[in-house]
Structure 1
Amino acid sequence: MAEVEREFAALGARVRLHARCVDCGHQTGTGADEPVVLASVVKVPLVLEFARQAAYGQLDPAERVVVRQTDRLGGTGTAGCLDDVEMSLRDLARFALSVSDNTAADLLFRRVGVDTVRLLVKELGLDSTRIAGSPRTLLEDVLRDVGATDPASFAAVYPALSPERIRALPTMDPRRTNSGTARDMTRLLALIWTDRAGPPAACALVRSLMAGQVSWHRLAAAFPGEVAVAAKSGTLPGVRNEIGVVRHPDGGRHAVAVFAEVRDLGERRPDLDAAIGAAGRTAVEELRGCCGQPPSPRRTA
């Protein structure tokens, strides 16, 4: 893993990485127990809690929800709609994982309860994971921090903020936002992929929705087409994350979590996106063979 650390350092970034075999638990990584900002990765335990409640009959996944203009938080998905949108709770979950829709995630948090997601991560033994709040709660924390009254006034103030001030925002501090560790996230994925995170139907739904993530340019891009990748990304200024499960045709399954903290606050860093995928592949290749599958051939380029 030392070479992975050097590669990220050369890109002006710090990496926390963990990978584990889903079936035997063999592990590798670097900085795996250091706290990291989850960003949109938090949508995985959120959707898992929704899926569990649906499986237990505590809510109807077809329940209709109207996404109104006042609900919109920016980003992708329903944020771009010009009119009110009506969809099911199940489709809110799909939007939250497939296109990382912040508004969908916020409405889902409102329905299933922030406290129940906190209880879930405790139940699953994710001892280093902290659920601070929903997307709207975190946005309100940022608005208060900079003295903005609403998202529009924050958008006007943001360009004038220094990089140091941006890094000091509550959403950038693991102690004040949704946070966890790379090791916790691969544990979460391994539990989902082995039906130990809840009823099998709930785990299957999360697996299916993660397999439908539209963004494939980080972890999935590093593997050939015959390797299945189900993943969830997370992005903030200076933060680039990806967690997922990689399944080879021979049945080998490995959970991977890569968290990159970047000095450059720019939105477009394809070099870092590629480095995240490469780091995940390096970790998986190190573990290949742990359950009897043939080791991956070493790449020469």
Structure 2
Amino acid sequence: MTNATASMTDTQTVPDVAEIFADAGATGFLHAREIGGTVGPEVTFGADEPVVLASVFKILVLTAFVRAVAAGELDPTERTTVTARYRIGGVGTAGFADDVEASWRDLALNMMSMSDNAATDIIYHRLGGEAVNRVITDLGLRSTRLIGCCEDLFASVVSDLGGAADSDLDELFTGATAEQILALDVVQPLRTSHSTPRDVTTLLNALWTDTAAPAEACRQARDIMALQIWPHRLTAAFPGDVRIAAKTGTLPTWRNEAGVVTYPDGRQYAVAVFTQAASLVDRQPLVDASIGRAAFAAVEQLRARTV
């Protein structure tokens, strides 16, 4: 993997980002740009390489959701029930022991704030995959493809590990070898839901410039993204007076986060960081920290430039 190259009048590569990722034992991919109608200075590091989206794809679902609400196709206060079908494990309603009733807007909040997989899937099925794919087409995200929602990703894992529809995913992972896990489709960018860091910042820029949906809908999406609860990646590296609205994503070896950082002077920057670790260890604080460190280095380079 090599740094992206372009004229230094509009693009910078970041020499120290390579060291940040290498020190963490990961391969990294990054794109950062200031929010605005046109692409100005940018910072790139493998910005056009295909990457595994993992739960970062939920930004696309959120965009489709606020579009549907704005169009009057979905009443956000209407309530629905998250049933056993969607309880695939993890945080939020996905890990509940019993059915739960909630409004669509509260499920959207769960989807983004804590990465609730059940909330994501029930919203995805209510909207339909076509509505989510339309966001990709409308915004010109030419390197972005989705294979479905969370249950589709997990079904892929079960199939790859030789399980059946009713197999316990945790048990399959426990019995799998490292070679089997590394061969899973969900960790191969071109065999699962994937994008590029540049496509992801394009999506973020559209949400922050009110071009991804009507202005009020975009504001709602931004407000929801600002409520994410995970502080261990992007947030960890930025000063406390910098506001962050973002979405994480995690799969075996992959740890990601993409979002917009807003400085006290009002300038805003979209940054997307994707990492692939050399290890399958569940907890990798150095890799998590590298996401924030690389993002901060990139944004500080943009701030140092005269626009």
TM-score normalised by the shorter chain: which range applies?
Answer: over 0.9
Contact 1:238–1:265 (8 Å) recurs in 2:
yes
Partner SS for 1:259: strand
Report the residue type matching 1:120 in the other structure: V
Question: Does structure 1 residue 66 correspond to structure 2 residue 77?
Answer: no
- Given residue 78 of structure 1, which amino acid in structure 2 is its aligned partner? T
| TM-superposition CA deviations, 1:159-199 (whole Å, max 9, x none) | 22222211211211122211100000111101100101110
- CA-CA distance at 1:150 after TM superposition: 3.8
Structure-2 residue corresponding to 1:298: none
Distance in 2 separating the partners of 1:226 and 1:153: 43
Moved more, 227-236 or 149-158: 149-158
What is the alpha-carbon distance in structure 2 between the residues aligned to residue 137 and residue 150 of structure 1? 11
Residues 161, 180 of structure 2: 8 Å contact kept: no
* SS across alignment from 2:198: helix
Query: Secondary structure in 1 aligned to 2:27?
Result: strand
1:282 counterpart = 2:297:
yes
Q: Which residue of 1 aligns with 2:103?
A: 88
- Counterpart-to-counterpart distance in 2, 1:291 and 1:204: 28
**Aligned runs of 1:195-214 on 2, under 5 Å?**
195-214=210-229
- CA drift of 1:73 comes to 1.3
State the alpha-carbon separation in 1 of the partners of residues 127 and 172 from structure 2.
Answer: 33
Q: Which amino acid aligns with 1:102?
A: N
Maintained 8 Å contact 1:73/1:102: yes
Secondary structure of 1:233's counterpart equals strand
TM-score (norm 2): 0.92
Match of 2:209 in 1: 194
- Structure 1 residue aligned with 2:26: 13
Quick one: percent identity of the two aligned structures? 46
CA RMSD in angstroms, aligned pairs only: 1.4
Q: Distance in 1 between matches of 2:183 and 2:16?
A: 30
In structure 2, the partner of 1:216 is 231
Whether 1:146 aligns to 2:123 is: no
Shift of 1:210: 0.7
Q: What residue number does 1:296 align with? A: none
Is the CA contact 1:64–1:88 (under 8 Å) kept in the aligned structure 2? yes
Supply the distance in 2 between the matched residues of 1:270 and 1:141 (Cα, whole angstroms): 27
Pairwise CA distance, 1:152: 4.2
The number of equivalent residue pairs is 292
Q: How does 1:1-301 map to 2 (within 5 A)?
A: 1-23=14-36, 25=39, 26-150=41-165, 152-290=167-305
Which amino acid is 1:182 matched to? P
Residues 252 and 291 of structure 1 are in contact (CA less than 8 Å); yes or no, is this contact kept in structure 2?
no
Query: In the TM superposition, what whole-angstrom CA distance separates every residue of 1:229-271 from its partner, at most 9, and x where no partner exists?
Result: 1111001110000001011111111000000011111121111
Corresponding letter in the other structure for 2:30: L
Give the corresponding residue for 2:7.
Answer: none
User: 2-side partners of 1:30 and 1:60: how far apart?
Assistant: 41
**2:190 is paired with a residue of what secondary structure?**
coil
Check the 8 A contact 1:143/1:151 in 2, yes or no.
no
Q: Give the CA deviation at 1:282.
A: 0.3
Deviation at 1:119, TM superposition (A): 1.7
| 1: CA distance, partners of 2:184 / 2:80 | 31
8 Å CA contact retained: 1:17, 1:32 = yes
Partner SS state of residue 241, structure 2: coil
For structure 1, which segment, 9-18 or 278-287, has the greater mean C-alpha deviation from structure 2 after superposition? 9-18
CA contact (8 A) 2:88 2:95 kept: no
Offset of 1:158 from its aligned partner?
Answer: 1.4
Deviation for aligned residue 1:155: 2.2
Q: Which runs of 5+ in 1 are unaligned?
A: 293-301
Structure 2 distance, partners of 1:290, 1:42, is 31
* 8 Å Cα contact 2:158-2:167 kept in structure 1: no
